[in-house]
Amino acid sequence: MFGLDKRDTTLLLIVAALVALAPFLLNPFPENSDLAQFNAGYPDLMQRFVIFGIFAIGFNILFGLTGYLSFGHAAFLGVGSYAAVWMFKLLSMNIIPAIVLAVIVAGVFALLIGFISLRRSGIYFSILTLAFAQMSFALAYSVLTPITGGETGLQLALDDPRIIGQQVTEGGNIPVPSLFGLEMRDSAELALGPWLFTFNIGYYVCAIIMLIAFYISIRIFRSPFGMMLRAIKSNQQRLNYTGLNSRPYTLAAFVISGMYAGLAGGLMASMDPLAGAERMFWTASGEVVLMTILGGAGTLIGPILGAGMIKYMENIISKINKTILHEWFYWMPDGLEDAMVSIVYPFIGKGWHLTLGIIFMLVVIFLPGGLVEGGQRIANFFRGRKAAKQEGKGTTEPAE
């Protein structure tokens, strides 16, 4: 189906189902229960899951296939956000032109940076991209304030022209981003007994775009172009001595992944129409590297899993505080309760980075293929047991 083989189609359909049912799947706990804080099914976070999913899918096209580790990918995300917000300011609050411009601007920017950075490979390439990204951040933060809004970030204002759209709402407010009248922040709620599920328009817009992005990435992975990229990762020397010029291939991969980042940035601005320089900071570039490696670089679904995992931890674990810990351990004797709380405390709240660091370390050491490899091992384990069972049967049957 869709020009994919059976396995890839299944994967795409599974991802589509997960994404469509996410408001249910991420809200497994009743609204007022103790565990409700582990619910991730609120619009803001779900949007972030899919947007960072897109960002990581695009990063994986570059890093997973060619092995070129860009350490400045957040620059394209930031540029995309700025472009989108400018579109909201100048043209209209429709998200389509904003997203299109975000992708184009990020692509042009990636072409420029890639053209220079790809003259080097390995660590020098990473450092060059990092340098460019930090440069962009610094420029956005200070010199380019008229364009970027500097420290405060780029925000919408009542007197923005919005030439083909509505400048001010009837209530005198700034209009919100929409898709032909569908406002991104609109939600429908469904209460089933104690459960509450939220279906947000912005989330589903992002989700559909992510599915398209995921589909395109599968096509790229399975194309001759994707094979060339894997060949670059495997042995660039042989590729050159086989009559192929690796530079345009890596540049194309770089631009494509930059455009994915721009798309993510544009969507981010569409969900919440402001853009700040901190989106380009190097920690943001590092985050997408973590997502991709954690999920499994070079695999199709890995980056999405990694993005989901990191965003979940960032938003859920960081919200656990001391009071909640005391509630959890209240059944213990007093001394033990305090001891337990002080042991767990460094790993929660602002300490979620520590938890992330430990998980990342464990994954890199024990599962170099990321979460996807973990899944495969589990699957193989069960398949192995099944096979062994069948084999056992096979040997007993002839005896009968």
Partner 1 sequence: MGILEVKNVGKRFGGLQALSNVNLSVAENTVHAIIGPNGAGKSTLLNCFVGKLIPDTGSVMFDGQSVLGRSPHEINQMGISRVFQTPEIFGDLTVLENMMIPCFAKRDGSFELNALSGVMSQKDIIERAEHVLEDMNMADKRHMHAASMSRGDKRRLEIGMCLSQEPRLLLLDEPTAGMARADTNNTIDLLKEIKEKRDITIAIIEHDMHVVFSLAERITVLAQGTPLVEDTPENIKGHPKVREAYLGESA
Binding site for partner 1 (CB under 8 A): 3, 5, 216, 219-220, 222-228, 230-231, 233-235, 237-245, 248-249, 252, 256
Query: In this complex, which beta carbon is closest to partner 1, that of residue 193 or of residue 243?
Result: 243
Query: In this complex, which beta carbon is closest to partner 1, that of residue 3 or of residue 346?
Result: 3
Query: In this complex, which beta carbon is closest to partner 1, that of residue 104 or of residue 244?
Result: 244
Six token digits for residue 31? 């609204």
Query: In this complex, which beta carbon is closest to partner 1, that of residue 229 or of residue 348?
Result: 229
Report the nearest approach of partner 1 to the CB of residue 254 (Å).
13
Report the nearest approach of partner 1 to the CB of residue 231 (Å).
5
Report the nearest approach of partner 1 to the CB of residue 235 (Å).
5
Report the nearest approach of partner 1 to the CB of residue 132 (Å).
24
Q: Closest Cα partner for 358 from 326, 313, 312, 301? A: 313
Report the nearest approach of partner 1 to the CB of residue 175 (Å).
37
Query: In this complex, which beta carbon is closest to partner 1, that of residue 233 or of residue 353?
Result: 233
Query: In this complex, which beta carbon is closest to partner 1, that of residue 215 or of residue 347?
Result: 215
Report the nearest approach of partner 1 to the CB of residue 241 (Å).
5
Report the nearest approach of partner 1 to the CB of residue 3 (Å).
6
Query: In this complex, which beta carbon is closest to partner 1, that of residue 152 or of residue 380?
Result: 380
178-179 and 154-155 strand pairing: unpaired
Query: In this complex, which beta carbon is closest to partner 1, that of residue 121 or of residue 187?
Result: 121
Query: In this complex, which beta carbon is closest to partner 1, that of residue 5 or of residue 186?
Result: 5
d(CA 163, CA 92): 7
Burial of 378 (0-12, 13-18, 19+ CB in 10 A): exposed
Report the nearest approach of partner 1 to the CB of residue 14 (Å).
20
Report the nearest approach of partner 1 to the CB of residue 160 (Å).
38
